[in-house]
Amino acid sequence: MATRMDLDGRPIKPITICMIGAGGFIGSHLCEKLMSETPHKVLALDVYNDKIKHLLEPDSLPWAGRIQFHRLNIKHDSRLEGLIKMADLTINLAAICTPADYNTRPLDTIYSNFIDALPVVKYCSENNKRLIHFSTCEVYGKTIGSFLPKDSPLRQDPAYYLLNEVTSPCIFGSIEKQRWSYACAKQLIERLIYAEGAENGLEFTIVRPFNWIGPRMDFIPGIDGPSEGVPRVLACFSNNLLRREPLKLVDGGQSQRTFVYIKDAIEAVLLMIENPDRANGHIFNVGNPNNEVTVRQLAEMMTKVYAKASGEPSLDSPTVDVSSKEFYGEGYDDSDKRIPDMTIINKQLGWNPKTSLWDLLESTLTYQHRTYAEAIKKSIAKPSAS
């Protein structure tokens, strides 16, 4: 492998990375990238390894020996500190991050995203190890624009919706709106990491993903996830399309979101890994402001893309409206619009996303159709036990 250079023209030295949550959607893509394009070693920690099995065996793979899987739950495993000590860098991807859980399992959500992350931060700080911590764009909460009067001309001004890592406030709903339990736990761990940096010199980078999309994302209920589970919007819609059901639009699908392709986002993470001088001490938005749509527009677009990918005609009534209370339960609340300001990541790492919304949906839905269509047909055909 030719010597690779960082952004400042210096040779990149091979490092060992302790990746917590390596078996998930983001972890699996990051492991692939690290194995195929870099000389780095990965200690892959997770409870499951289905999404990275193709990287672990057979032994004849060109990167055999550079990735080791350790099956552990960071909640209660004495091996965690030893594995962090063995590495130069720890990347923490572990989290509960499905909105349906935020108000139905708020305690699990708070424990998983704050309490369980504490030892990771502590061990990195005490052992002088660098940390890249995955947070969420949810920490911004509601936008300033959402508080303007409905008829205010200022609602057209993007400045009221653009979310900047340094200047935007974090605005959450009331305590009874338990949907904010996730964002609040994530914000508090960010504040703790930032404080460790300020007081104890912890070298850290915080990543705020804005809806990363691609193959292996989330789960399809009843096939590779709990049958009663509710994954995030894109996987919910995929599940409906695969089962030929109408797509459920919560509260009319008026919320706006931006989506970024997983492979573009992983490029950004690799730049953070390999350019510590430019990434340390920073919080980075990683999203694609050009791919902004309402959830209703997303549903319409996905219906068209899936018809093309599967060769099956769309339903006569492709969408159905449901209330958030009916879909998510009591205590749900939402943020209206989230647009990432890309100034900081652009200045520090020169990163820009490339993939259009249509292309990333085509890649994702083609993969999902190929992977799940047969399994779903079988599950539907099976007579249920009476």
**Candidate list 102, 182, 306, 332, residue with the active-site label:** 182
Instruction: Give the start-to-end residue ranges of the domains of the chain.
Output: 95-374
pLDDT tens-digit map of 120-178? 999 999 999 999 999 999 999 999 988 899 899 998 888 889 999 999 999 999 999 88
pLDDT value at position 386? 42
What percent of the chain shows pLDDT beyond 90?
68
CA distance 186 to 140: 10
Confirm whether 182 is a catalytic residue. yes
Q: Which of 281-285, 360-364, 378-382 has the lowest mean pLDDT?
A: 378-382
Q: How far apart are CA 303 and CA 293, in angstroms?
A: 14
Question: Which of the four pLDDT bands, split at 50, 70 and 90, describes residue 64?
Answer: very high
**Taking 80 as the threshold, does the pLDDT of residue 373 lie above it?**
no
In 64-128 the beta strands, taken as DSSP E runs, fall at 67-71, 89-92
Tell me the β-bridge partners of 247.
319
pLDDT computed for residue 86 by the predictor: 98
Whether the Cβ atoms of residue 141 and residue 335 lie closer than 8 Å to each other: yes
In angstroms, the Cα distances linking 142 to 19, 113, 137, 234 are: 31, 20, 11, 21
Mean pLDDT value of segment 38-65: 94
Which pLDDT band holds residue 55 (cuts at 50, 70, 90)? very high
Question: How far is 274 from 351, CA to CA, in rounded Å?
Answer: 13
Greater confidence (223 vs 307) lies with 307
In whole angstroms, what is the distance from residue 102 CA to residue 146 CA? Answer: 21
Q: Is the pLDDT of residue 224 over 80?
A: no
Answering whether pTM is above 0.85, one says: yes
pLDDT for position 152: 92
The two structure tokens encoding residue 242: 């695969």
Residue 254: pLDDT band with limits 50, 70, 90: confident
Residue carrying structure tokens 């300033």: 144
Pick left, alpha or beta for residue 171 (phi over 0 → left; psi -120 to 50 → alpha; otherwise beta): beta
Q: Which residues are CB-neighbours of 346 under 8 A, at least 6 positions away?
A: 352
Per-residue pLDDT reduced to its tens digit, 323-350: 666 655 555 555 567 899 999 999 999 9
Domain 95-374 belongs to what topology? Rossmann fold (3.40.50)
Confidence of residue 357 (pLDDT cuts 50, 70, 90): very high
Amino acid at 47: V
- Largest Cα–Cα distance of the chain, in whole Å? 67
Report the alpha-carbon distance of residue 347 to residue 286 in Å, rounded.
13
